[in-house]
Amino acid sequence: MPKTTLYSASAQPRPYRVIISGGGTGGHIFPAVAIANELRRRQPDAEILFVGANGRMEMTRVPEAGYKIVGLDIAGLQRRLTPQNLLFPVKVFRSVRKAGKLLQEFKPDAVVGVGGYASAPVLLAATSRGIPALIQEQNSYAGLVNKLLSRRVNRICVAYDGMEKFFPADKLVLTGNPVRTEIASGSRAEALSFFGLSPEKKTLLVIGGSLGARTLNEATAAALTRLQAAGIQLLWQTGKLYYPKAAEQAAPFAPDKLQALEFVQRMDLAYAAADVVISRAGALSVSELCLTGKPSILVPSPNVAEDHQTKNALALVEKDAALLVSDADAAATLYDQALALLNDPGRQQQLSQNVSRLAHPHATTTIVDELLALMDRA
């Protein structure tokens, strides 16, 4: 389909207008909101519209961040034959048509796709009309939507090197992932006071994401006696569903500073308190570990598309910047490795130095630089 330009952005006297599309998980939503916040900081009169998928978490999280969002009736393909899969082509067609109407009404100067179901129809509609488009890929293994659309968009901002195996090299910009830079600003003394921890003991932080991680929770519960015997303090972020059980399991160990927490509001202080971190390997978790310079053991979730968490973890492991334990091996070996690392300050320092070199503290500003440059050239 030949591209037709609706208008020239440079000919518009009005403020910039930008559509940001995608979502489905916090790993997509947080970068999207971070980009919007930075654009608004630099262009306070910019008009920003989000487009998400109806029924997904962005439909509540984005308005909570202060932005308007429009939903499309789009969902991903299931891995097995289902009635939903039979309706998939119809939903894509309808979503592309609705996205086209949104573009005609809103008249954006550029479109940003952050991955997830809703980004595909919007990027397809935008690029067919000659509207500048930018993709932000969070993972070391590119998502299917971003790979398919890479030749149509103008710029691709990535978080890892070597991404030319997925994308046209001339469109790539290594920016890193947008993360809250304040995540690395916590004071250890303030952190220990905030969580009621002792400065004389080593501290282990376990984070499984906002929903928690069953494997990490079960392995941690089984290791409480070992941690107590070793004199280790624990900040154990369990997630909402597992918290009642975890709180009961941790209660006998509470006097020894082994704490189960449903959610950690002050992640800056949690990182500041930690000597070692056990974490899943989602893109934003990995980026936070790089920014905070924390020695970590990554346990990739096996329940993600293309096993991209393992690939994220390996991107660090190959640079000797983290340790990796598979989900299947976690019950047997995770806490052997965690205790060994906690008792090896030299290894902690080596991992910390290596992971810090991979940080991109200015990722958000660099992405917005690229976005503004695209609109200025249009």
In this structure, are strands 133-137 and 233-237 parallel, antiparallel, or unpaired?
unpaired
Q: Could you tell me how many residues make up the chain?
A: 378
87 Cβ neighbours under 8 A, 6+ residues apart: none
Residue 318's identity, in one-letter code, is E
111 Cβ neighbours under 8 A, 6+ residues apart: 18, 19, 20, 21, 103, 122, 123, 126, 131, 132, 133, 134
Q: Residues annotated as binding site for UDP-N-acetyl-alpha-D-glucosamine?
A: 25-27, 139, 180, 210, 283-288, 309
Tokens of 230: 């070793």
Q: Across-strand partners of 72? A: 53
In this structure, are strands 276-279 and 296-298 parallel, antiparallel, or unpaired?
parallel
Residue 317's identity, in one-letter code, is V
Rounded Cα distance between 239 and 102, Å, is 37
Q: Across-strand partners of 111? A: 19, 133
Where do the DSSP E strands lie in 30-102? 47-53, 68-72
Q: Residues annotated as binding site?
A: 25-27, 139, 180, 210, 283-288, 309
Find tokens 């037709």 and name the residue: 4
Alpha-carbon separation of residue 252 from 107, 242, 247 (angstroms): 60, 17, 9
Q: Which helix (H) or strand (E) holds 227?
A: helix 214-230
Residue 361, φ and ψ in degrees, nearest 5: -65, -20
Alpha-carbon separation of residue 57 from 71, 74, 316, 326 (angstroms): 11, 13, 29, 28
* CB atoms near residue 165 (< 10 Å): 8
Rounded Cα distance between 241 and 224, Å, is 19
Alpha-carbon separation of residue 232 from 4, 253, 259, 341 (angstroms): 63, 11, 11, 12
